[in-house]
Structure 1
Amino acid sequence: MTEKTSAIIYTETDEAPLLATYSFLPILEAFARTAGVDVETRDISLAGRILAQFPDRLTDDQRIGDALAELGELATTPEANIIKLPNISASVPQLKAAIKELQEQGYDIPDYVENPTTEEEKAAREAYDRVKGSAVNPVLREGNSDRRAADAVKEYARRNPHSMGAWSGDSKTNVATMTDDDFRHNEKSVVIEADDDLRIELVGADGETRVLRESVPVLAGEVVDGTVMRAAALDDFLRAQVQRAKDEGVLFSVHLKATMMKVSDPIIFGHVVRAYFPQVFEQYGDDLAAAGLSASDGLGSILSGLDALANGAEIKAAFEQAMADGPDLAMVDSDRGITNLHVPSDIIVDASMPAMIRTSGHMWNPAGDEQDALAVIPDSSYAGVYQTVIDDCRANGAYDPATMGSVPNVGLMAQKAEEYGSHDKTFEIPADGTVRVVNRAGDVLIEHQVSTGDIWRACQTKDIPIRDWVKLAVTRARATGDPAIFWLDSERAHDRNLITLVEKYLGDHDTEGLDISIASPVEATQRSIERIREGKNTISVTGNVLRDYNTDLFPILELGTSAKMLSVVPLINGGGLFETGAGGSAPKHVQQLVKENYLRWDSLGEFLALAESLQEYGETTGNSGAKVLASTLARANATFLNENKSPGRKLGTIDNRGSHFYLALYWAEELAQQTDDAELASKFTALAAELREKEQQINDELLAVQGSPADIGGYYRPDPEKASAVMRPSATFNAALDQL
């Protein structure tokens, strides 16, 4: 066994994944230590990211380093081995809640000011803007995505298919999307000829030039796009959809990405709220604005702030009357009256649309019953994907998880590729005029006529990630023998440039005998779902946003959740980032833990990622023991699935902590029985025997704590001692691990 030369970095994130870490990390550290594998942690939670912005305001014992920046640098080196758990992609309401909690915990950090006026407020706002939204992923993703169902997971899903709602041929569920003047239709795209520095400016109708972004460095071969969603067209579209939902007797729902698309989509969400309540905002809009109550923050934020207004009861009654008169709203929580319009981060398109399709095309209505819905997705770039799947289910019925094929994904996301890298280049236009993208020589590369309130954005896709993306697609097609489809739309300016580059770079690889093609997202969806029904697999090769959508859509239909997907990011400069699944249901899990000391979070994603990480560590460092840990963990994962030791659905069954115990038991038994490393086997013989012998005792200790409230000391920043005590309640299990 060689001396270790690097470490596995296990990230501390947020909500349920963070709580699960308090239970699972001690197991990982104990097992890894036996083979000389170094495991370190880095705090990239929302709370940690906030605190890292304000070191000068904190005491010595409160101050923490900027772990995200550190890992961003590490991700560009061959030594990188990072296990990245799901993190909060913070919307403004979440950011404000985290700030409030930290202030209550004694951290002297500033408020988030919507409209900063002083230099101090502006500096704080700039710092918080670096934290909110998808702040983590663009920094760490220095490689493209290889996301698929592990063999053990797929086999388990076939033997134990999850429930799927039946579809009716007369379902009235549909997607509504814009047919012009949205981001897709107004897009312009250029390929940069040489390294340059671009400027984004607004030339007003009055002739005044305002610089929106002074410097946008670009490299030769980079694809740069600009586009605009016109506010007037958006408002016309939304008003029509409210009326359509009313006329068709279906639920009105909007599906956006207000977390990752942290500038554009909250603005769009605000337009939706105003479109549903036009008379309320016409009559009381000035009062709400004066009180700092913004439609972009959602109906819930507005209603909670009305008590402070002299006419608050009157305004609340107007909102209630508008809901009674308008189409029924899809609900997030019918029992508590939380609608689809309450919080911008509650209905995230990549999770909400698959859930609707899985549930017979239904969402929940105010009475708590299922009902057909109109899914409003304003930008038409990818809305057709969901409509195609809905049409297929309406015609052919629900998919069968016991027989359906897979749609693994190769996603272009390296180095902030495409729309998720555009937050700092997205603007709500302050005045009529022309937005121009100008190079250093003064040449205008892209320009759009704009009006006040339009949403304009630019995004970048560097050439090296595109080359790597094509290479990864060929590699996966060769490894699996499955067809690979590049989901690119020749009617989109950006995609036209990508098509040219894909065709060029495919020539750099041996593609003989491979089925590699290019099709629009709608066409690619249709071909993929036809093959799904035949039990066949089709690799989707997509850009960044579609990567995010597809790696929820198809896994949720196939496996019941996207959290069970294996997500490997081979980093461009070597090393790997190993992602552990989706975290969309994490908030509800935390609420249940605090209420009744039961954590339903499934850590299978962590188990799968860890096996890949250990294998990478072994290959990079020459540590043969790490490879044994990896191979035995892979077998333990299969046993874990076959024995059905994932968290149950109700009190009295094993939860996240119990699932960790069983993973440790199966892993220890595999290590004790393996013959590749006798020294390592000997270290686990006693542990495997003890865990098996005391299985009932450990289970009893884990189950005994369920049913009572649990104090973890905070939602966004739990107290480590309290959280550890809650998540490690079995003294017998803890003592056994300590013996390693």
Structure 2
Amino acid sequence: MAKIIYTLTDEAPRLATYSFLPVVEAFAGTAGVEVETRDISLAGRIIAAFDDMLPPEQRVGDALAELGQLATTPEANIIKLPNISASVPQLKAAIAELQGKGYALPDYPEEALTDEQRDVRARYDSVKGSAVNPVLREGNSDRRAPAAVKNYARRHPHSMGAWSPESRTNVATMGQDDFRSNEQSAVLTSPDTLTIRLLGDSGTTTVLKDGLAVLEGEVVDATVMRAAALDTFLREQVARAKAEDVLFSVHLKATMMKVSDPIIFGHVVRAFLPEVFQTYGEQLAAAGLSPNNGLGSVLDGLAGLENGEEIRAAVEKGLADGPRLAMVNSDKGITNLHVPSDVIVDASMPAMIRTSGHMWGPDGAEDDTLAVIPDSSYAGVYQAVIDDCRANGAYDPTTMGSVPNVGLMAQKAEEYGSHDKTFEITEPGRVQVVTSTGDVLLEHEVAAGDIWRACQTKDAAVRDWVKLAVTRARASATPAVFWLDPERAHDRNLVEKVRRYLGEHDTEGLDLDIMSPVEAAAHSVQRIRKGEDTISVTGNVLRDYNTDLFPILELGTSAKMLSVVPLMNGGGLFETGAGGSAPKHVQQLVQENYLRWDSLGEFLALAESLRHLATTTDNGRALVLADTLDRATERLLSENRSPARKVGQIDNRGSHFYLSLYWAQELADQSQDTELAAAFGDIAARLAQDEATITQELLAVQGRPADIGGYYRPDEAKAAAVMRPSETFNAALAALR
């Protein structure tokens, strides 16, 4: 039997699944398609990591590892929803919730001094940050806005803040002594096993990582951000924001860059409150209150210190004396520096650009901001877009073009695969990457506190990326630009590979180019204003940034993108768009039983999954389901049946009902499969007849608190009851199944 694997993830997407999965199972079953689930949520991954320590009834097995193996096979057909890329505060919260549910899990050790603590820390670190995506992404990324979504955005444009030529918003970045400027890169001429070691000036040799297997043609990079230069830069930006009277904000990727960026975040907190950390830094460190976890975690821990109120007063004075801080929630006093995972660069920067270049200040009003992005690798992309808006005004969603993306990410390519090779240096010396014969491949002078990291990119992944770029450019008749920086060592090696592998394809008639990211961004937004499309062909991190930046400007959200990953061995991974896992939506559901999460990404991914399955298993009925689902989705958009924003209107559950109604009607009206049309005639009529009853049942539960039995691990029965409140709709689906 043909099979689709539907992943269970976190937060709003997880809750939406309780409502939508029964629809998927019922409709797919008519085409002989079985739907199975795998739990890759943060809580599920934590439990799996300690499987050997738990009683049999609590064990779950490692679903992520299982799916990782499946992704390397031609049979893979996986629908992957957004999941939490856990920061340390999120990880601790999930552990505490599971402990409260009776799971005998150890606490997260801030310091790992014993073998047991090191083992526990390693297990928890394995689920931290972007632990899911590198495992599943055995292919490169094809993200674009489907025609129905783009057309809807043009007919129903989202709000765009006006830009002033006098806007003082800018990006501040290091430009020297950072990851971009210090990068070294090598291409392996033969398979090998590498070692990373620190040769201390004291004469010690510390192996940071050994057994690092590499293949012929693989690109290996190493770089370092110098802590002293970072601190100088940050002090200058705090002073600059104060002098220019703009908001101070920092934009990092503390979730996916789970080792380097929390450390950088800690440097920012210290730079903003220098007197606090000069006076109380040692005491805070001794109490386990690290600025790497955000100012909020430090403030929360002060109650346990005898002089906690004294330190709190010093923090408040430091905040008052410094520049105005950008806020996450000004009503609750949550600043840009409170939680590392609250301000993620790929979401926060496009949101700022869309809102006139403004962020929210402490007074609850919008204002210009100095957006601090310490590493200069991609900061210039945002500055290029800001400069364009300052010169030419906001973009017009009714006329603007699109920037789809072909992203290099297969086999843990580039930075997102570097977490196990990122280190905060403990003593001055040299970090070397050496071959099995002892030859030094890459080397950096380092000082204590520097952040050093390496990453790998396999040759097969690059070759497949180039192939996908050519395929998409030809299929859509759209110019494509490889965003590669000639000043970066890694990118120079990729340029050579791109030119070589383009020679393996028929590129006649295609418009293909290679530009630096800053040039490519300026080129793309110039074409956007003319209503023209340009494919951005990028590395892994820029893939993530661009597939938020441009969709948020074009569509108002990145959650509406079609995200297909053609797996290198013939399978398919279908991601439900970017946009995170929407914790605020969960809070609203718990408070007033209203879920704003938009499952459009799930609808788009399901159609592509069915289409892939139809091709690989010769299942014509699955193709009918895919085509009719696309038409139903377009109708859902055109009739404005997506989730609204306020209680009393249809929410996520209501959109699932209308998608089911329209899908059933499209199936009943199609002529490719008369037997299938007959089978859906009854449910189409039944849902149409009961529309008023079903919508009333869905609306009736709104406006009061909902109990889902847990944030990170909801109670299955409670969550299902909350997300499926219409008995009439439930009965109709049961009859179809």
Q: TM-score, normalised by structure 1?
A: 0.99
Alignment of 1:199-214 (within 5 A): 199-214=195-210
Distance 2:420 2:52 in 1: 25
Matched, 1:97 2:93: yes
From 407, 410, 417, the equivalent of 2:406 is 410
Matched, 1:618 2:614: yes
Matched, 1:393 2:398: no
CA contact (8 A) 1:171 1:361 kept: yes
Displacement of 1:287 in angstroms is 1.1
Whichever residue aligns with residue 716 of structure 2, its letter is P
Matched, 1:490 2:486: yes
Distance 1:583 1:305 in 2: 31
Counterpart secondary structure, 2:387 = helix
Counterpart secondary structure, 2:56 = coil
Matched, 1:28 2:24: yes
Matched, 1:531 2:527: yes
Question: What are the superposed Cα offsets for residues 259-301 of structure 1, whole Å, 9 maximum, x if unpaired?
Answer: 0000000000000000000010000011101110001000000
Counterpart secondary structure, 2:282 = helix
Alignment of 1:35-50 (within 5 A): 35-50=31-46
Equivalent position of 2:4 in the other structure = 8
Equivalent position of 1:679 in the other structure = 675
CA contact (8 A) 1:167 1:397 kept: yes
| Structure 2 unaligned regions, length at least 5 | none
Matched, 1:550 2:546: yes
Counterpart secondary structure, 2:339 = coil
Distance 1:117 1:201 in 2: 21
- Name whichever of 57-66 and 509-518 sits farther off: 57-66
Whichever residue aligns with residue 470 of structure 1, its letter is V
Distance 1:455 1:153 in 2: 42
Question: What are the superposed Cα offsets for residues 12-34 of structure 1, whole Å, 9 maximum, x if unpaired?
Answer: 00000000000000011011111
CA contact (8 A) 2:10 2:581 kept: no
Equivalent position of 1:119 in the other structure = 115
- Name whichever of 581-590 and 511-520 sits farther off: 581-590
Identity of aligned residues (%): 74
Displacement of 1:59 in angstroms is 2.0
Question: What are the superposed Cα offsets for residues 65-100 of structure 1, whole Å, 9 maximum, x if unpaired?
Answer: 100000000000000000000000000110000000
Question: What are the superposed Cα offsets for residues 204-239 of structure 1, whole Å, 9 maximum, x if unpaired?
Answer: 001211000012100000000000000000000000
From 217, 221, 229, the equivalent of 1:221 is 217
Distance 1:197 1:179 in 2: 33
CA contact (8 A) 1:11 1:42 kept: yes
Equivalent position of 2:284 in the other structure = 288
CA contact (8 A) 1:11 1:82 kept: yes
Matched, 1:197 2:193: yes
Equivalent position of 1:430 in the other structure = 426
Question: What are the superposed Cα offsets for residues 332-385 of structure 1, whole Å, 9 maximum, x if unpaired?
Answer: 000000000000000000000000000000000011100100000000000000
Distance 1:440 1:257 in 2: 33
Alignment of 1:113-152 (within 5 A): 113-152=109-148
Equivalent position of 2:441 in the other structure = 445
Matched, 1:378 2:374: yes
Distance 1:627 1:514 in 2: 30
Alignment of 1:576-615 (within 5 A): 576-584=572-580, 586-615=582-611
Counterpart secondary structure, 1:198 = strand
Distance 1:105 1:408 in 2: 43
Whichever residue aligns with residue 357 of structure 2, its letter is G
Displacement of 1:56 in angstroms is 2.2
From 699, 716, 721, the equivalent of 2:717 is 721
From 143, 161, 174, the equivalent of 1:165 is 161
Distance 2:560 2:57 in 1: 38
Matched, 1:255 2:241: no
Counterpart secondary structure, 2:255 = coil
Distance 1:511 1:491 in 2: 27
Distance 1:476 1:122 in 2: 46
Distance 2:64 2:226 in 1: 35
CA contact (8 A) 1:87 1:583 kept: no
Alignment of 1:232-247 (within 5 A): 232-247=228-243
Distance 1:617 1:692 in 2: 30
Matched, 1:730 2:730: no
Displacement of 1:320 in angstroms is 0.1
Equivalent position of 2:69 in the other structure = 73
Distance 1:687 1:369 in 2: 50
Whichever residue aligns with residue 479 of structure 2, its letter is P
CA contact (8 A) 2:613 2:619 kept: yes
Equivalent position of 1:327 in the other structure = 323
CA contact (8 A) 2:83 2:580 kept: no
Equivalent position of 1:268 in the other structure = 264
Distance 1:216 1:252 in 2: 40
Whichever residue aligns with residue 186 of structure 2, its letter is V
Question: What are the superposed Cα offsets for residues 306-328 of structure 1, whole Å, 9 maximum, x if unpaired?
Answer: 01000000000000000111000
Counterpart secondary structure, 1:306 = helix
| Structure 1 unaligned regions, length at least 5 | none
Question: What are the superposed Cα offsets for residues 561-604 of structure 1, whole Å, 9 maximum, x if unpaired?
Answer: 00000000000000100000124361000000000000000000
Question: What are the superposed Cα offsets for residues 520-546 of structure 1, whole Å, 9 maximum, x if unpaired?
Answer: 000000110000000000000000000
Equivalent position of 1:471 in the other structure = 467
Distance 2:530 2:166 in 1: 24
Counterpart secondary structure, 2:174 = coil
Matched, 1:569 2:557: no
Distance 2:86 2:431 in 1: 29
Distance 1:320 1:648 in 2: 39
Distance 1:674 1:739 in 2: 21
Distance 2:276 2:514 in 1: 47
Equivalent position of 1:639 in the other structure = 635
Counterpart secondary structure, 1:345 = helix
Whichever residue aligns with residue 159 of structure 1, its letter is R
Equivalent position of 1:559 in the other structure = 555
From 676, 695, 699, the equivalent of 2:695 is 699
Displacement of 1:407 in angstroms is 0.2
CA contact (8 A) 1:47 1:98 kept: yes
Distance 1:655 1:352 in 2: 25
From 344, 363, 380, the equivalent of 2:340 is 344
Distance 1:55 1:228 in 2: 36
Runs of 4+ in 1 over 4 A off after TM superposition: none
Question: What are the superposed Cα offsets for residues 121-147 of structure 1, whole Å, 9 maximum, x if unpaired?
Answer: 111111011100000000000000000
Counterpart secondary structure, 2:341 = coil
Distance 1:527 1:33 in 2: 47
Distance 2:458 2:50 in 1: 32
Equivalent position of 1:499 in the other structure = 495
Distance 1:56 1:84 in 2: 27
Matched, 1:299 2:299: no
Equivalent position of 2:735 in the other structure = 739
Distance 1:346 1:720 in 2: 28
Distance 1:275 1:235 in 2: 7
Distance 1:219 1:403 in 2: 46
Distance 1:9 1:151 in 2: 26
Displacement of 1:683 in angstroms is 1.2
Whichever residue aligns with residue 580 of structure 1, its letter is T
Distance 1:375 1:70 in 2: 41
- Name whichever of 575-584 and 380-389 sits farther off: 575-584
Whichever residue aligns with residue 497 of structure 1, its letter is N
Matched, 1:627 2:616: no
CA contact (8 A) 1:17 1:583 kept: no
